[in-house]
Copies of this chain bind each other. A is one copy, B any other.
Amino acid sequence: MRLPRGFLASGVRSGIRRKGPDLALLVAANGANAAALFTKNRFLAAPVVLASADLKRSGGRVRAVVVNAGCANAITGRPGMEAARRVRDRAAALLGFPKDEVLVSSTGVIGVVLPDAKIRAALPDAKNGLSASGLEAASHAILTTDASPKVAEASFTLAGRRGRVVGVAKGAGMIHPDMATMLAFVMTDAAASPAYLKAALREAAVASFNAISVDGDTSTNDTLLVMASGEMGGRELQKPSEGAAFRAALTKVCRALAWMMVRDGEGATRVLEISIVGARTGIEARAAAHAVATSPLVKTALHGGDPNWGRILAAVGRSGARFSEKRVSLELGPLTLVKYGLPVPYRESQAVRIFSRERVPIVVDLGVGRAKAWKLSCDLGHGYVSINADYRS
């Protein structure tokens, strides 16, 4: 996939991971306005602390992002921070950019100080490999336990000019509301101020990364970054009322990446699309959706293709959402399984068929209000256990 105008990328091997590429470089040679959302985990990895501070110092300007897989450089204290700084400083010197316009990002094992010498040694290769068609190489270099690389694109038109949004992400495990262990970098040739980008990014995240859950765990390194080179031309987007087409494209790319993440949940074979409707408040609707999305009993039933709807409602029942049992209904695709608190006769074979598809939509109507929530989750299978019981070794 071609990058938007103004961006180059590459992916190379630094040797942190046992094999394969593990170092990606994204460059906006003429600079880009940028905004980011970082993890809400109270343990912040060194690269998150550094990138967040640099973004503030530069006033939302970015020229390069250095991403490594294989080591999260989290819970590593001052040595970890110094290693992150050395990577940033070397990349800035090599590329001739101001330090605070170079962001670093890491993913991998926690508690190990980044072996920054390996990255610094590989940076010249990464620089030489930069190209407008380098996204694929970069998309491979940021993966950890992901089964496949994740890229998405969308285009839009503003005042007669065509623009593009292209995103690359890694996810797999530890995916959860508020962006647990995910890295996503979105590039566009739109012209937009950092403040505009921040608002647009928040809006896009609510409908994408913040609505997915693989295992409820969140990481110390999650980062969602958007960079706008402005090379499509036109007036810079500044007011929230402007650029609806751009924001729609940004949300579309984020949703596509989020879908890929949950579909690629460790060992996952299908996606549960949970809609809670008729809740009293948005908080209660989200709590109910969250309880279903993270229930191991629901997720294992999904893995088995067993439409054991009692587990879905039991999860809703413990979520804290208020409702009256007599008003609750549950739909599985076109089938109504429970109506006003009572099981409805249905053909088990039909329910099994729907529950065994790649995408399984369920709607729980609490019947007591108008608030809604929507969330994607995936099944919990042997693959998840195998991957995670022995991740480090």
A contacts, CB < 8 Å to B: 40-44, 72, 74-77, 109-112, 173-174, 180, 215-220, 294-297, 300-301, 303-304, 306, 308-311, 313-318, 321-323, 325-326, 338, 341-343, 380-382, 384-386, 388-393
Contacts and interface: CB of A to CB of B under 8 A. Distances in A.
A381 B321 CA distance: 30
A309 B384 CA distance: 18
B109 A310 contact: yes
8 contacts: A217-B318, A219-B314, A304-B388, A304-B389, A304-B390, A382-B382, A384-B385, A385-B385
A218 B385 contact: no
A155 B123 CA distance: 70
Given A75-B338, A216-B294, A391 B306 contact: yes
Nearest to A180: B318
Given A109-B310, A180-B318, A380-B296, A42 B389 contact: no
A386 B301 CA distance: 10
A79 B341 CA distance: 12
A48 to B, nearest CB: 12
Contact of A343 (B111, B174, B217, B380): B111
A10 to B, nearest CB: 29
A389 B356 CA distance: 12
A136 to B, nearest CB: 29
Given A75-B341, A75-B343, A341-B75, A389 B314 contact: no
B308 A391 contact: yes
Nearest to A321: B42
A374 to B, nearest CB: 21
A323 B75 CA distance: 13
B385 A303 contact: yes
A322 to B, nearest CB: 7
Contact of A297 (B43, B215, B296): B215
Given A111-B309, A384-B300, A42 B325 contact: yes
A318 B110 contact: no
Contacts of A112: 343
